[in-house]
Structure 1
Amino acid sequence: MNLGELHRLGRHLEDLASEAMREGAPSKLNRAQRAIQSDIRENPDTSVGEIAARTGFSQGYVSTAIADLREMGRLETRRDPSEGRRTLVRLTEATTSRIEELRRRMSVEELLTDLQPDIEPDRIPHIVEVLKDLDQRLTERALNKPSSGRKHP
């Protein structure tokens, strides 16, 4: 597998997950907004700077995305009580509930069986296990890596 194939695989996986999760409810989010919303979901009551460090987007880009997501009713912000200049961000209850409902709808195994019927059923558990292992390794790497300084998507 070369880097182009890896990139294509990543996009295919993201598209499969997005398609399954928004079934009946089209998403208005672009990939970067989804990445930022996902980071906030995993790290509630987090600051713009922390989100930027974890995602690699610039603070200005993260601030703009947060303003857009807040306007859509997906996020809420509040001042950090211990540091009045910092703004903390979290998903609204409605957004959290909606995401949880969408995630409960279908397992990855069901998704692969439904959308990729040409995969042999006995191979699906192995594929899912490899994906889980890769996710864990890449997540650990991302948490231990300083920001790449990437400006925007």
Structure 2
Amino acid sequence: MNGVELFLLGRALMKLGEDALPEPPGDAGRQAGGTRLVLVVASDVAAHPDTTVGEIAARTGLPQSQVSTAVARLKEAGSVVTAPDPADRRRTLVRQAGEVSARVAEVRATSIEQALAAALGADDPARLREVTAALDVLARNLLN
């Protein structure tokens, strides 16, 4: 595998992840990249507690308006909380919520099997188990 193949694999895995996630309640269909945007912001907030929208935008390279929208969606889902910055009350700090909301629990509990089976294009349980096991190995070795 070379760098280009790894990059393309990463993009394919991101698409699978998006396909596996349950639709938000009342959503009239996903916006292209909306889920990916929210997940990027959520992972940045997890890594940098008590951060501002501007700091998230600087670290991720996303426009501040998109970060603000993603923070609003995360707040609505109960994934993050916001509070005024005690050092500068004009700024708002963002951090992960102390408790897991029902929506976050639902997303975390969602299986990838249906999306993975659709991507593989076959109803071969052995192949599905093989690919799932390979993904488990990658996650175990590459994620924190």
Regarding TM over 0.5, the answer is yes
- 1:9 positional shift: 0.8
- The AA in structure 1 aligned to 2:102 is S
Alignment of 1:75-114 (within 5 A): 77-90=82-95, 96-106=101-111, 108=112, 110=113, 114=117
Change (3 A) 1:10 1:121: same
- 1:88 positional shift: 0.7
- Aligned partners of 1:46 and 1:89 also within 8 Å: yes
TM-score by length of 1: 0.59
Q: Write the deviation string for residues 81-139 of structure 1: whole angstroms up to 9, x where unpaired.
A: 2443432124679x943132122122x5x457644355263563244112331233xxx
- 1:8 positional shift: 1.4
Q: CA RMSD in A?
A: 3.6
- Aligned partners of 2:22 and 2:110 also within 8 Å: no
Distance in 1 (CA, whole Å) between partners of 2:10 and 2:41 is 17
Secondary structure in 2 aligned to 1:89?
strand
Alignment of 1:10-89 (within 5 A): 10-23=10-23, 26-28=29-31, 29=34, 31-41=36-46, 43-52=48-57, 54-55=59-60, 57=61, 61=63, 63-69=64-70, 73=76, 77-89=82-94
- Report the counterpart of residue 125 of structure 1 in structure 2: 133
Change (3 A) 1:6 1:102: same
TM-score by length of 2: 0.62
Number of equivalent positions: 129
Distance in 2 (CA, whole Å) between partners of 1:84 and 1:126 is 48
Change (3 A) 1:70 1:105: closer
Indicate the percent of aligned positions where both proteins have the same amino acid: 31
- Aligned partners of 2:18 and 2:36 also within 8 Å: no
Distance in 2 (CA, whole Å) between partners of 1:76 and 1:13 is 29
- Aligned partners of 1:47 and 1:88 also within 8 Å: yes
Distance in 2 (CA, whole Å) between partners of 1:128 and 1:50 is 32
Change (3 A) 1:27 1:120: closer
Distance in 1 (CA, whole Å) between partners of 2:131 and 2:38 is 33
Secondary structure in 1 aligned to 2:91?
strand
